[in-house]
């Protein structure tokens, strides 16, 4: 025990992980005594090592071990990071286990000194991004992800929590180093010369035009200001389709290391925007026009369903549980209160949709112009076909961002996508 | 030393304070060895004990000792409070000493265990609220308070600070218990039945009408949401004219115990709204019409001057120092950047003015309907004359709040005041 406490952080590998895990009672208890464990590194993340640890005699018995690295992997070892992010991820996962049970993996162990978390192995789930490229359908997804969004956001916001409790929770999620990565890589670096940016050379003109557009730049700054200052709820802050594992009956959100108290609409925008990117990617992946159009319609139906279910569930749970300090029940119960509460919920949901368009819009741009592109698009072999999808993504992103204050329904967002799709001839 | 560390918190009085101060080297050093010290309790605050400690042989040698109480004084001992607020006040004062030197009292000592701070005695200054009732004029005030606002807000915001540094500072100013007081007493309790509310019975109908106005209630909730979540900069959060001491050449801001990272416009709105309340109070204090109108014009000139100087100085210092993570210079230096930066500063200042109207508007209401009324008004002997000022204050508050999104210049705010004044016949 003393020995372990004195041992400094070290990045583990397939060889050293097993000895480490045998010293962790919570993990050891998950396997039969003396089990022959196999380890396989599977991470393709940018920030962490991820291993599957399984019982060789019974491969269904398995756990995931995830350890934070000291540097940003995608950029080589040159970009140092604090390992503290694993603390944030484990804190968020604990909150999600409580608020969204069954929608995140179960957490078995967390070792702060080693920045290492052990959790449920999701062997029957797949990463959503790849499944959508394969045109798979997930009948429960809209229901699951809208519940995840509502439960994780509402129950950590001032809508529900007493003010003191919310702020004490917020203090435990001040996550400045990971915030800085998103601030730079989403809202700043893609729009200036920065060596890590990459984009399809076939849309160089479009990228340069956005970079030189003063109006777009000013609005991106507005959204960045909101990202940096609007501490509404505990947000995941990286909720793309690569952070969702699922199958036909089950959905799990993973990788909340960027979590902090931020604008609710950022998480909603991330989901919707990643679905639209997938929709566009089928210009490269699905040659058959009828098949493509049908699947694109399906994906846009997910966009519609998620927003509408999110809005419906948020309104319902809020109406039933207005116990947070913003505002307490006695405010809404007084004279004129019922009407005022309905108006406040309505304007709040309208604002959240507009901010969803704004953050989602910026995220289209950063995915096309910045350091982290998306596999849906980059896996298209033909650069010409990629450019078709990518140019549409840029146009949609600019329109969602610049027209956000006129958005009154999710249909407005879908209409923009459909108009840009209609302009494509492939 | 050990003895003092073991001694628990106790509220001091005029008798026990001197012995305590003699054990504090930083304070003892301010008086000649063996000086005969006099102590006088002068606090009329709601939350704290305040003493003047002076050298009997040389009364100009003096300091202020301020100690936090365990309870909210205005409501008797029944409203318990954490003494931690003196830590927040001393932290804010240290920040202000650095950012706004000469605009706050100098801090000599802070004892965390005793929740006691010792600071500069401002013997040549008076509380602004009383001086304005006496129709005093302060030729430096616009310049001083606009500099205080710009320096305290800009240099603690994402406009100026690196993101990590700002968030680490923010973490030290998570002040949930004092936040809750303002949240309740400004944005909630005045608009519902709550025993501590008090108002002039002659405007009972107006108070009840506001409480039953669903539109007003919904907008108050919007402003409360901003107060609770928009962590833009270190704000004072109680910057009324009773928190300002001044004379013709010097201005000092005191009492920042409510400080936290909140919306910049709350501080600006507090100053402007308190000036307008004073302007209205002269319907009770200044019988001579010409004299009254001239002074009211002077006070509205302060409102105009403060906003315009605040906007001019903020724009200037931001333009010269865009080194914060929102956005860094390289973003504004790139193609289209100069124009984008100008647009972003312009829209940000426009937004701050609208939020100033919103928070200021709510604060008119709370002052007329809630627990803490203002002396400018309550010192008017005739309840009829009080009601004249108070009803106008309610109307102005509702208009600032409800019309805030159409405000484009401080002249819009002044026009509302002048229209309501013009409707008064005294």
Chain region(s) in chain B for CATH 3.90.1200.10 = 126-422
Task: Give the position of tokens 């005739």.
Answer: B382
Which chain B residue has the Cα nearest residue A216? B340
Looking at chain A, which residue has its C-alpha nearest residue B334?
A: A192
Structure confidence by residue, pLDDT tens digits, B354-370: 999 999 999 999 999 99
User: d(Cα A348, Cα B27) in Å, to the nearest integer?
Assistant: 52
- Partner A contacted by B229 (CB < 8 A): yes
Q: What's the half-sphere exposure (Cβ side, CA atoms, 13 Å) at B23?
A: 12
Please say whether the beta carbons of A37 and A56 come within 8 A. Answer: yes
Nearest CA in chain A to B164: A176
Closest by CA to B163, choosing from A357, A262, A215, A367, is A262
Name the phi and psi angles at A55, rounded to 5: -80, 120
Classify domain B126-422 at the CATH topology level: Aminoglycoside 3'-phosphotransferase; Chain: A, domain 2 (3.90.1200)
Instruction: Tell me the pTM.
Output: 0.94
Q: Is A320 exposed, middle or buried (0-12, 13-18, 19+ CB in 10 A)?
A: exposed
Chain A interface disruption, residue of B85, B157, B159, B176, most A CBs within 10 A? B176
- Which residues in B144-155 are b (16+ Cβ under 10 Å) and which e? bbbbbbbbbbbb
Give the C-alpha separation, B213 to B191, whole Å: 10
Residues of B in contact with A347 (CB under 8 A): 218, 222
**Interchain CB contact of A217 with B (< 8 Å):** yes
How does DSSP classify residue A18?
H
The answer to whether the beta carbons of residues A314 and A349 sit under 8 Å apart is: yes
Cβ contact (<8 Å) for B348 and A225?
yes
Distance CA(A385)–CA(A354), nearest Å, equals 31
For residue A4, the model assigns a pLDDT of 47
Please identify every stretch of chain B with a pLDDT value under 50, giving residue numbers as ranges: 1-5
- Distance, in Å, from the CA atom of A362 to the CA atom of A360, rounded to the nearest integer, reads 6
Which of residues 166 through 185 in chain A touch B, CB cutoff 8 A? 166-168, 170-171, 174-177, 179-180, 183-184
Given CB atoms, is A340 within the 8 Å cutoff of chain B? Answer: yes
Q: Which value does ipTM take for this structure?
A: 0.93
CB contact under 8 A, A336 and B212: yes
Strand order in the sheet with B251-253: B126-127, B244-246, B251-253
With CB atoms and an 8 Å threshold, state whether B228 touches A174: no
* CB within 8 Å: A183 and B163: yes
What is the distance between the alpha carbons of residues B44 and B46, in angstroms, rounded to a whole number?
A: 7
Give me the residue from A218, A232, A328 closest to B340, CB to CB. A218
Which residues of A fall within a CB distance of 8 Å from B336? 211-214, 217
Q: Which of A183, A213, A330 sits opposite B336 (nearest CB)?
A: A213
**Chain B residue at shortest CA distance from A193:** B334
Alpha-carbon gap, residue B355 to B14, rounded angstroms: 43
* Residue B337 with chain A: CB contacts under 8 Å: 214, 217
Tens-of-pLDDT digits for all 426 residues of chain A?
444 445 689 999 999 999 999 999 988 889 998 899 999 999 765 678 999 999 999 988 999 999 998 876 665 555 667 788 899 999 999 999 999 999 999 999 999 999 999 999 999 999 999 999 999 999 999 999 999 999 999 999 999 999 999 999 999 999 999 999 999 999 999 999 989 999 999 999 999 999 999 999 999 999 999 999 999 999 999 999 999 999 999 999 999 999 999 999 999 999 999 999 999 999 999 999 999 999 999 999 999 999 999 999 999 999 999 999 999 999 998 888 999 999 999 999 999 999 999 999 999 999 999 988 899 999 999 999 999 999 999 999 999 999 999 999 999 999 999 999 999 976
Give the class (CATH, top level) of A2-120: alpha beta
pLDDT at B324: 95
Answer whether B227's CB lies under 8 Å from B187's CB.
yes
The pLDDT score that the predictor gives to residue B3 is: 47
Residue ranges, CATH 3.30.200.20, chain B: 2-120
CB of A77 within 8 Å of a chain B CB? The answer is no
* Facing residue for B229 by CB, picked from A158, A191, A212: A158
Residue of B nearest to A331 (CA): B192
Closest residue of chain B to A344, computed from CA coordinates = B218
The answer to whether B405 contacts chain A (CB < 8 Å) is no
Whether residue A382 lies within 8 A of chain B, CB to CB, comes out as: no
| A324: chain B residues, CB-CB within 8 Å | none
B195 touches chain A (CB under 8 A): no
């Amino acid at each position: 025990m003393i020995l372990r406490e004195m041992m400094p952080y070290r990045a583990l590998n397939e060889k050293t992980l097993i000895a480490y895990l045998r010293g962790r009672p919570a993990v050891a208890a998950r396997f039969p005594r003396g089990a022959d464990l196999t380890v396989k590194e599977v991470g393709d993340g940018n920030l962490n090592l991820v291993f599957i640890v399984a019982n060789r005699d019974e491969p269904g018995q398995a756990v995931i071990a995830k350890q934070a690295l000291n540097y940003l992997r995608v950029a080589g070892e040159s970009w140092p990071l604090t390992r503290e992010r694993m603390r944030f991820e484990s804190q968020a996962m604990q909150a999600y286990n409580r608020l969204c049970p069954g929608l995140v993996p179960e957490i078995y162990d967390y070792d702060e000194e080693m920045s290492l978390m052990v959790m449920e192995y999701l062997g029957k789930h797949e990463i959503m991004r790849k499944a959508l490229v394969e045109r798979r359908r997930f009948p429960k997804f809209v229901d699951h992800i809208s519940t995840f969004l509502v439960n994780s956001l509402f129950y950590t916001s001032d809508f529900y929590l007493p003010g003191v409790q919310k702020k004490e929770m917020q203090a435990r999620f001040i996550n400045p180093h990971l915030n800085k990565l998103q601030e730079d890589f989403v809202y700043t670096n893609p729009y200036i010369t920065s060596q890590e940016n990459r984009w399809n050379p076939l849309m160089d003109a479009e990228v340069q035009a956005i970079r030189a557009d003063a109006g777009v730049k000013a609005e991106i700054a507005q959204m960045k200001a909101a990202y940096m200052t609007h501490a509404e709820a505990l947000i995941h802050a990286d909720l793309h389709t690569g952070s969702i594992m699922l199958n036909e009956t089950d959905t799990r959100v993973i990788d909340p290391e960027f979590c902090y108290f931020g604008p609710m609409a950022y998480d909603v925008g991330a989901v919707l925007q990643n679905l639209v990117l997938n929709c566009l990617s089928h210009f490269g992946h699905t040659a058959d026009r009828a098949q493509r159009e049908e699947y694109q319609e399906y994906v846009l139906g997910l966009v519609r369903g998620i927003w509408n279910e999110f809005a419906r569930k948020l309104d319902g749970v809020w109406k039933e549980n207005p116990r947070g300090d913003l505002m307490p029940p006695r405010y809404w119960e007084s004279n004129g209160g019922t009407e005022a509460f309905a108006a406040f919920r309505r304007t709040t949901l309208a604002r959240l949709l507009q901010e969803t368009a704004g953050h989602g819009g910026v995220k289209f741009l950063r995915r096309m112009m910045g350091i982290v592109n998306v596999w849906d698009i980059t896996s298209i072999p033909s650069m010409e076909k990629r450019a078709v999808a990518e140019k549409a993504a840029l146009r949609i992103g600019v329109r969602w961002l610049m027209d956000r204050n006129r958005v009154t329904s999710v249909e407005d967002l879908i209409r923009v996508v459909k108009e840009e799709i209609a302009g494509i001839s492939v």
